[in-house]
Amino acid sequence: MVNNRGIFPILLVFVVVAAAGGGLLSRDRLERQQQQYKQHTEMLEISYRAAIHTYKIATDIYLRDTIRQSEVLSLFARGWRSDEAGKVELRRQLYNRLQGSYQNLWQYRLRQLHFHLPDGESFLRFHQPQRFGDKLFGVRPSVRIANTEKRAVIGFEAGRIIDGFRYVVPLEYQGQHIGSVETSIPFKSLQGAMTEYASEREYQFLVSADLVQERLFPDFRSVYAPSPF
């Protein structure tokens, strides 16, 4: 006969040891998962920063070589003090002056060129030249900061037509603040640049519907589709 009183402590020890072993395995698996998540996040950040830096360099070169020229700045500077008829003519001249260089921006993945007056009024959108005159301070914090704090702003922001990763810089002419200008890239362009740095990964972008719907022109709200997630 087996002494049942001797079996219980042995089974108890076995169960405790097995449970402890399972706990160690679970902890080890969790630590490995956390390490993988950390590596993934670090790679994501490196790819993102590298892509944004490349875009910033391209924008800086364009601003230096094209926008910050006296002919361009003098045209734009007059827009702030002109009446509506004067703005129409200055807008036409500025568009004609920069149209060729704007087309060249596409090779750098830059998709927008947008001038804003010091009070936040949209002066000229090269991607939608027929839309102008709307006030942007209330819907575009980057434009407000660039014109009130006189400093460059870079980062993601939803706009009146589409969202993008934007670079907004204040402009001066003869020592006077005359407004701001921006370039931007859509996520698809940023996605392509990030894939070049880490081709084995896929990148998707989700944005809150509440964030974009309240800012978009009504006829551009159909550009977005609900996420399946």
Task: For the chain, give the longest Cα–Cα distance.
Answer: 110
What is the pLDDT, as a whole number, of residue 92? Answer: 96
Helix (H) or strand (E) holding 181: strand 176-185
Alpha carbon distance 136, 144 (integer Å): 8
Strand-by-strand arrangement of the 164-173 sheet: 122-125, 112-116, 176-185, 164-173, 153-157
Q: Where are the alpha helices (DSSP H) in the chain?
A: 4-62, 70-79, 84-104, 141-148, 187-197, 209-213
Q: Where are the alpha helices (DSSP H) in 63-83?
A: 70-79
pLDDT digits (tens, 9 = 90+) for 144-161: 999 999 999 988 887 555
Alpha carbon distance 200, 198 (integer Å): 6
Helix, strand or coil, per DSSP, at residue 216: coil
Task: Quote the pTM value.
Answer: 0.72
Q: Which of 16-25, 150-159, 168-177, 206-215 has the highest mean pLDDT?
A: 168-177
Tell me the HSE value of 75 on the side-chain side, using a 13 A CA sphere.
19
Contacts of 111 (CB under 8 A, 6+ apart): 105, 127, 164, 184, 185, 186, 189
Alpha carbon distance 20, 23 (integer Å): 5
Instruction: Report which DSSP code applies to 113.
Output: E
User: Contact at 8 Å (CB) between 138 and 122?
Assistant: no
What is the pLDDT, as a whole number, of residue 22? Answer: 61
pLDDT at 117 over 90: yes
User: Contact at 8 Å (CB) between 146 and 168?
Assistant: yes
pLDDT digits (tens, 9 = 90+) for 55-85: 888 889 999 999 999 999 999 999 988 999 9
